[in-house]
Amino acid sequence: MRDPEATALWLCGDSITYQQLEINLARVVNLISCCGDQKVIGLASGNAWLSFLFVQACSQINQPLLMLSPELPGPRLQQLLSQCGCNFVITDTTGLDTSSETTVIDEQMFYSLQPGEVIRDATGRNSTNIQLIVATSGSSGEPKGVMLSAAAIEASAVAVNASLGLQANDCWLNCLPLYHIAGLSIIYRCHFAAASMVLQQGFKAQQVWQDLHRYSISHVSLVPAMLSHLIDVSCDASPPGTLRVALIGGAALSPTLAERARQAGWPLVISYGMTETASLCAYDASADAGMVAGRVGHPLDGFDISVASNEGTILVSGAALMSGYANPDLSPGSGLIDNTFATGDSGRLDEDGILYVSGRSDEALLSAGRTIHPREVEQQLEQFTGIGRVAVTAITDPVWGDRLVAVYEAGSFDASCFESWAREQLPSVICPRIFMPIDRLPLNSMGKIDRSKLRQIIRQ
């Protein structure tokens, strides 16, 4: 049983006890009831505290909640709302672009509601077991709403906690967006482990570095770009000794950055997962995790991972798998075949059952008759000393088919040396024909390369 006076959450330097949390949650539950019986409630907010309360409150009353990025462009937002059958959104964003059929409630208006005041006619609460709908990142296509049941969320949290050793006296620092599964999953992990959490309003490297020490953090989740910034602001100093797990996901970690982090004493754990698997489904906590390109480790307990023999697509099944892609009726099954999800990633399993990921199948390029995954070229280029982020894409060529283009962030190294090195080290068939330095690669909010924006850049 939790101590009511124990700290459940640290927010902007303030301690929030379990008793205070319950009071706040009860208020939000009452306010949600003022909104009428909604099949799905949407939340488009950059406010971490509001998002946290909504996730917990909607879980308590079995209200399906659609988490939305407040920065989602209007057409994509409306497409997602229609897909999920959601016509009721609470937001802290001015001028949210939705259709006239969607009721949009400002956050301040929501807090001003009085119990018993119904602002929308009841339509009958949906009896679905869907607890959460989360949009995929949409880095290479249109985002889809992923439906997650309460059982799947709990199965994921319990399995991750067991594998990463999260216990009641631990504290997880959460600096990830709460409209992505990576940030959301930390809420559930801490809930089921009765662990505390430091909730930050976005990622600020200096603040994260200070809070790692201030709160005796045991676990932290980061994307590779965040890890790089933290190493920079700390001048390669070691993180506090209390830190047992630095969970890296969201994008591939280069062995060069992994080696630098290892030398600084970061306890790296590499994760592989997606919204459709309610966060990670495989992880590598070995002593050299991150040092081998593409290796993401063994399946998490409760997951079965295989690779299709004909195309190399990674297949996943298990208790934490999504119920399916969203539809207005919230009916399960879409996107699954025999309760198995084809990830769209290509990879292989070695003789010890360790999973290696080579890249996205839908990002594959065809150059000189060979299928090339951009990630396999990026992994080679990242071995150049001093290189930062690098991405590989292509332009259409009448001879090559896809003519490979390496786009990289300009640094202090000699660009001509980088190109010469690449031509010497890489096999000719996968060596880029064009090298393009830019100030900053286009990334989404989870640190993944935005492939569609990258292609736009090279066409300019």
Domains of the chain and CATH, by start: 13-127 (3.40.50.980), 149-360 (3.40.50.12780), 364-459 (3.30.300.30)
pTM of the model: 0.84
Query: Using an 8 Å Cβ cutoff, are 222 and 246 in contact?
Result: yes
Query: Using an 8 Å Cβ cutoff, are 320 and 281 in contact?
Result: yes
Return d(Cα 290, Cα 449) in angstroms, integer: 19
Residue 91's H or E segment, with its range, is strand 88-91
What pLDDT does residue 234 have? 97
Q: Which two tokens stand for residue 387?
A: 């290189």
Return d(Cα 460, Cα 456) in angstroms, integer: 7
Return d(Cα 112, Cα 116) in angstroms, integer: 12
Residue 296's H or E segment, with its range, is strand 295-299
CB count in 10 Å sphere of residue 295: 21
Beta bridge partners of 104: 89
Return d(Cα 211, Cα 324) in angstroms, integer: 37
Query: Using an 8 Å Cβ cutoff, are 171 and 196 in contact?
Result: yes
Q: Which two tokens stand for residue 163?
A: 């594998």
| Low-confidence residues in the chain, pLDDT < 50 | 120-126, 139-140
What pLDDT does residue 83 have? 93
What pLDDT does residue 79 have? 87
Strand segments, DSSP code E, in 350-412 are: 355-360, 365-367, 370-372, 390-397, 401-409
* Cβ neighbours for 439, distance < 8 A, ≥ 6 positions apart: 409, 410
- From the DSSP assignment, how many helices (H) and strands (E) are in the chain? 12, 25
β-strands 14-17, 7-11 pairing = antiparallel
Q: Which two tokens stand for residue 280?
A: 């990670």
Return d(Cα 25, Cα 58) in angstroms, integer: 9
Q: Which residue has the tokens 């990630």?
A: 375
Return d(Cα 18, Cα 432) in angstroms, integer: 55
Q: Which two tokens stand for residue 48?
A: 């971490």
Q: Which two tokens stand for residue 182?
A: 């990576």
Q: Which residue has the tokens 């709990």?
A: 154
β-strands 245-248, 268-274 pairing = parallel
Return d(Cα 271, Cα 251) in angstroms, integer: 9
Q: Which two tokens stand for residue 196?
A: 């505390």
What pLDDT does residue 396 have? 83
Return d(Cα 60, Cα 262) in angstroms, integer: 41
